[in-house]
Chains A and B, each alone.
Chain A
Amino acid sequence: GENVEQHPSTLSVQEGDSAVIKCTYSDSASNYFPWYKQELGKGPQLIIDIRSNVGEKKDQRIAVTLNKTAKHFSLHITETQPEDSAVYFCAASMGTGYALNFGKGTSLLVTP
């Protein structure tokens, strides 16, 4: 089955700096790669996603890149703010009707 690895497990940055989280996946059939933000006591919130026919997608301060050849994708957060502090999960899926396979998460701390 699909195996998703995520690094780093913890990340601490100063407010205003950029944060980068990286994931690799094993199944070349995966074609959908979402990122979720999970705050304490809440369910995961979809923040951005990318499909295999796209190399990069941006939404305000958040961007995701995908390298299908190398089977890795990354989340980039610019101009970080304290409210960005949370656990971030990457996931990979073969599309509609298939499971989301999650990484183990990255705990991001943004200090003022």
Chain B
Amino acid sequence: ETGVTQSPTHLIKTRGQQVTLRCSSQSGHNTVSWYQQALGQGPQFIFQYYREEENGRGNFPPRFSGLQFPNYSSELNVNALELDDSALYLCASSREGTYNEQFFGPGTRLTVL
């Protein structure tokens, strides 16, 4: 069974730029959730994708957007990067019908200068 994978591992961008992060869900999982984890904090929910549609969103502005593909992989896009966007971005996959067991990838460390 393949776990959740994310790319890239690290990324450095400058303020105002745009970034795309990628996630491949665990085998058999059809739901992907994205979280932002600031240093020393717990993960904060950004949004969730199910059947290629956004299925719930946390308190993040519209410049955070996403996609889910037919193979259940997903992208997180962030436009107009701000310094406060520097964080670890985590992707978690889960399977419909389970209670809400979410399995996380290793994350992408984004630094905005």
Residue of A nearest to B4 (CB): A43
- Contacts of B31 on A, CB cut-off 8 Å? 97
B94 to chain A, nearest CB (A): 7
- Contacts of B40 on A, CB cut-off 8 Å? 104-105
The complex places the Cα of A45 from the Cα of B90 at a distance, in Å, of 12
- Contacts of A89 on B, CB cut-off 8 Å? 42-43
The complex places the Cα of A25 from the Cα of B44 at a distance, in Å, of 16
Chain A 20-56: CB-based contact to B (< 8 A → 1; otherwise 0): 0000000000011010100001111110010100000
Chain B 91-113: CB-based contact to A (< 8 A → 1; otherwise 0): 01010111111111111000000
Residue contact B55 to A46, C-beta cutoff 8 Å: no
Residue contact A104 to B42, C-beta cutoff 8 Å: yes
Residue of A nearest to B50 (CB): A97
Sample 19 A-B pairs with CB under 8 A, ordered by A number. A6-B42, A32-B100, A36-B104, A42-B106, A42-B107, A43-B90, A43-B105, A43-B106, A44-B43, A49-B101, A51-B99, A96-B94, A96-B96, A97-B50, A97-B55, A97-B96, A98-B56, A98-B100, A104-B41
